[in-house]
Amino acid sequence: MKLISEKWNSQRLTMSNLQEDEIPAVQDLYETSTYMNQWDGESYNPEHIRDCFVKGNLPPEGKLENYRIQTIRNQEDQKIIGILSVYHGHPSTDSMYLEFLYIDKDIQKQGFGQEVINQFTEVTASLGYQEIRINVALKNWPALNFWIKSGFNQVSGIYGDRECSETTYANLELIKILRGI
């Protein structure tokens, strides 16, 4: 199975594997994303980034060697502005699962997320994957809008609670087909 490179670039950004000494800074960045818990019902984990670095955030029966967590840096000043984590080969060997993408909320809406996805799509297709899958909280309207505009326009399932309320949560799994890219 081919894995994304330990370091790759887009026009303005560099994505590279998380290093152990970066964990505190990336955890601090991750903490700025906890507002999303209102949409997904997840509880905050103060060790999330360390856990991802050590154990990965794996699907059932997943293997750590198929997982990557990477920083997203602005090439201009090398500042970490985002986090990307992926799992190669889930739910099938020709699928790339984009487990988490986050750009610092203070600089969202400047095209960085779209730039990452455009380059990530090219990289993933060049490795021979046929699709990218993501999981989005149904209550996260900004993310749903972003992903659908980014070409994730097939639905593979809805998972979670069956009824909608203030205290129930569900996720939509979206797919972007890569054939012909």
pTM: 0.93
Domains of the chain listed by start with CATH number: 7-177 (3.40.630.30)
- Chain Cα centroid distance, residue 64: 16
Name the E strands within 32-141.
67-74, 80-88, 95-103, 131-137
Q: What is the mean pLDDT of each run of 10 residues along the chain (181 residues)?
A: 95 98 96 76 86 96 97 97 97 96 93 97 97 94 94 94 88 90 53
pLDDT of residue 181: 53
Residue 147 CB neighbour total at 10 angstroms = 22
pLDDT of residue 167: 87
> Is-cis flag, bond preceding 59, omega within 30?
no
pLDDT of residue 40: 73
What is the three-class DSSP state of 64?
A: helix
pLDDT of residue 22: 98
Handedness of CA 126, 129, 135, 136 (dihedral sign): positive
Q: Which residues pair with 70 in a beta bridge?
A: 17, 84
> How many whole angstroms separate alpha carbon 168 and alpha carbon 120?
32
pLDDT of residue 2: 95
DSSP code for 25 = H
